[in-house]
Chain A
């Protein structure tokens, strides 16, 4: 069975809400080939495709949630595999993550945490409805490289400006990068710079790549 076929089977299990079957299949395929191959050639391509479909409103919330849970639980299983660990487990940096003040939509944030942790980022999840000063305080306390903030709506996304101002005031802009994400940024891309963000990712699974790009970015 090739990896495309495996992706189809996995998609079917997740669509039917068969989380345990999906994880069992991923595990079996990993034993037959390798965890590294199954994660990078089966699971992640499917999650990227699904993330894009979800953003286009072509997949349900349940698909997003169940695929995230499958990934979360399978990454835990894979973390016991030496080869996968070597490929992904170097400490890439520390990220303070949360939903901005007045925002109570945690699904995207939780998926970002799952995928980023699996890729070697130390994630400090502050939760929902986090005021700007708490983001910055926790970033300083944990020597974070990045503050990653999720907001679903325009009204709440505007609160992220306060984080940028706080970073500017403390002369930490450039030193601590500001990643932003959520449905509103996909539909209103100019908002990323308007609220002082250093970058965004279209889907949760693309967040780890964004974080790597941000740390490579030269400060102006």
Chain B
């Protein structure tokens, strides 16, 4: 397997880092992984530039992208037969699987993944630009009924932190359990295809 996968590289969003590193520690993923900062989600054009550069750097490799449809030309990468991408419109769907993702969205949830929970001030204050709770509460409440925190089972739940986020955003928070099965299945499928 090692020999077969030697030319493969994974380029992934850092939102998946803890979980992919776990798969690596279990030997289920045995290829190098390069991570890009998940905050690039806020700047699709910048993400495109960085990804383009990475793909140029690894043009002689078989590349697996662990990303959603995160910038306007993401799907075009797959025209290159050396490049494949995980199935899913965004990181939430990649983690939850299509059915659970759609149900959660239809329930009016803002889906919060562990990495963003730990970086919540960066997300909502620094990047989204809402300086106070009073500014962001109406924004969140107009669009969402609740926050759904995804427990992937690999990041210890910090209940105090979740409470802090819930208070700042003015939305109730619920924890939804999700194994990393969907992510694992998606990556392994692509690794096998590339091997």
Closest-CB distance, A18 to chain B (whole angstroms): 10
- Of all chain B residues, the one with the shortest Cβ separation from A184 is B72
Interface pair A65/B139, CB less than 8 Å apart: yes
Report B-chain residues with C-beta under 8 Å of the C-beta of A65.
Answer: 139
Does A34 make an interface contact (CB < 8 A)?
A: no
Does B153 make an interface contact (CB < 8 A)?
A: no
Annotate A163-185 by CB proximity to B: 1 below 8 A, 0 otherwise.
00000000000000000000110
Does A76 make an interface contact (CB < 8 A)?
A: no
Main secondary structure of the interface of A (DSSP, over half): helix
Report B-chain residues with C-beta under 8 Å of the C-beta of A17.
Answer: 130-132, 135
Q: Given A17-B131, A183-B44, A183-B72, verify A155-B89 contact (CB < 8 Å).
A: yes
CB contact list, A113-134 vs B, under 8 A = 129
Does A60 make an interface contact (CB < 8 A)?
A: yes
Does B154 make an interface contact (CB < 8 A)?
A: no
Give the complex CA separation of A121 and B45 in angstroms. Answer: 33
Give the complex CA separation of A191 and B143 in angstroms. Answer: 27
Annotate A61-84 by CB proximity to B: 1 below 8 A, 0 otherwise.
111011001000000000000000
- Of all chain A residues, the one with the shortest Cβ separation from B43 is A57
Q: Which listed residue (B71, B106, B128) contacts A187, Cβ 8 A?
A: B71
- Of all chain A residues, the one with the shortest Cβ separation from B71 is A187
Q: Which listed residue (A62, A155, A188) contacts B73, Cβ 8 A?
A: A188
- Of all chain B residues, the one with the shortest Cβ separation from A105 is B143
CB contact list, B129-166 vs A, under 8 A = 129-132, 135-136, 138-139, 142-143
Interface pair B135/A187, CB less than 8 Å apart: no
Report A-chain residues with C-beta under 8 Å of the C-beta of B131.
Answer: 16-17, 62
Residue among A59, A104, A129, A183 having the largest count of chain B Cβ atoms under 10 Å? A104
Interface pair A57/B106, CB less than 8 Å apart: no
Q: Which listed residue (A57, A60, A155) contacts B75, Cβ 8 A?
A: A155
Q: Which listed residue (B69, B71, B105, B128) contacts A62, Cβ 8 A?
A: B128
Q: Given A106-B143, A187-B73, verify A60-B106 contact (CB < 8 Å).
A: no
Q: Which listed residue (B71, B90, B105, B138) contacts A129, Cβ 8 A?
A: B105
Give the complex CA separation of A102 and B142 in angstroms. Answer: 18
Give the complex CA separation of A153 and B132 in angstroms. Answer: 29
- Of all chain A residues, the one with the shortest Cβ separation from B48 is A187
Does B55 make an interface contact (CB < 8 A)?
A: no
Give the complex CA separation of A178 and B126 in angstroms. Answer: 37
Report A-chain residues with C-beta under 8 Å of the C-beta of B189.
Answer: none
Does A156 make an interface contact (CB < 8 A)?
A: yes
Interface pair B127/A104, CB less than 8 Å apart: no
Interface pair B106/A129, CB less than 8 Å apart: yes
Interface pair A57/B89, CB less than 8 Å apart: no
Does B46 make an interface contact (CB < 8 A)?
A: yes
Report B-chain residues with C-beta under 8 Å of the C-beta of A59.
Answer: 129
Does B74 make an interface contact (CB < 8 A)?
A: yes
What would be 29 A-B contacts, judged by CB atoms less than 8 Å apart?
Answer: A17-B130, A17-B131, A57-B43, A57-B44, A57-B45, A59-B129, A60-B127, A60-B128, A61-B128, A62-B128, A62-B139, A104-B105, A106-B142, A129-B106, A153-B69, A153-B72, A153-B89, A154-B69, A154-B72, A154-B74, A155-B75, A155-B89, A156-B89, A183-B72, A184-B72, A187-B45, A187-B71, A187-B73, A188-B73
Given A17-B131, A61-B128, A62-B130, 11 new contacts (CB under 8 A): A57-B45, A61-B42, A62-B128, A62-B129, A62-B131, A102-B89, A106-B142, A154-B72, A155-B75, A156-B89, A183-B72
> CB within 8 Å of B: which residues of A?
16-17, 57, 59-63, 65-66, 69, 102, 104, 106-107, 110, 129, 153-156, 183-184, 187-188
> CB within 8 Å of A: which residues of B?
42-46, 69, 71-75, 89-90, 102, 105-106, 127-132, 135-136, 138-139, 142-143
Q: Which 5 A-B pairs have the closest CB atoms?
A: A60-B129, A62-B129, A187-B72, A155-B69, A188-B72
